[in-house]
C-alpha cells in the first residue's frame, strides 16, 4: 500500500489547513494510521495516530487540542484537520501505516516502514 499526503500550503499563524492522505495499491482498513512531520534540522516527529476502526486517537502534546485526525473507510483515506497553526508547525508532513505508541506515549512508525513518499509542505508565517 502506498500513501500520499496532500493539502499543505502557506498559511498565517492562527489559520487552518486540512491535510489528506490517499492510499493506493490496497486497503488501509486494518491498519493504524499516523501523521508525522519533519522540520528542517529536526528529527521526524509523530503527531497523531488513529486506530484501524477510528475509535482511538492519540496526539503529541505539541498539537493536542489543535489538530484532529480522522479516517474515511469508503474513501480509503486519512485526514488531519489543523487549526490554530503556529510557526513551529512548519514542516513536511507525512502519513504512514502502522503507527503505535511507546511506553512513554510517543507516536512512532513501524520499525520497518520505509514508504514515506514526498510528504506535503506546511509553512506557517508569523
DSSP string, 19-54: EEEEEESS--TTS-EEEEEE-TTS--EEEEEE-TTS
Over residues 17-35, mean pLDDT: 94
Within the chain, residue ranges assigned H as helices are none
User: Looking at the predicted structure, is the pLDDT value of residue 111 above 90?
Assistant: no
Q: Check residue 116 and give its pLDDT.
A: 87
Does residue 58 have a pLDDT over 90?
Answer: yes
Q: How high is the mean pLDDT of the chain?
A: 95
Q: What is the Cα 48 distance to its own chain's centre?
A: 6
pLDDT in tens, 87-107: 999 999 999 999 999 998 899
Amino acid at each position: 500500500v502506498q500513501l500520499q499526503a496532500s493539502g499543505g500550503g502557506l498559511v498565517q499563524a492562527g489559520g487552518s489547513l486540512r491535510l489528506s492522505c490517499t492510499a493506493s495499491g490496497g486497503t488501509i482498513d486494518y491498519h493504524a494510521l499516523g501523521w508525522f512531520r519533519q522540520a528542517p534540522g529536526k528529527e521526524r516527529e509523530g503527531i497523531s495516530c488513529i486506530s484501524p476502526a477510528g475509535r482511538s486517537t492519540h496526539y503529541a502534546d505539541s498539537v493536542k487540542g489543535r489538530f484532529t485526525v480522522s479516517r474515511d473507510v469508503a474513501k480509503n483515506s486519512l485526514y488531519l484537520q489543523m487549526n490554530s497553526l503556529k510557526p513551529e508547525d512548519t514542516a513536511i508532513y507525512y502519513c504512514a501505516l502502522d503507527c503505535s505508541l511507546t511506553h512513554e506515549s510517543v507516536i512512532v512508525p513501524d520499525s520497518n516502514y520505509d514508504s514515506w513518499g514526498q510528504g506535503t509542505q506546511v509553512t506557517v508565517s508569523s
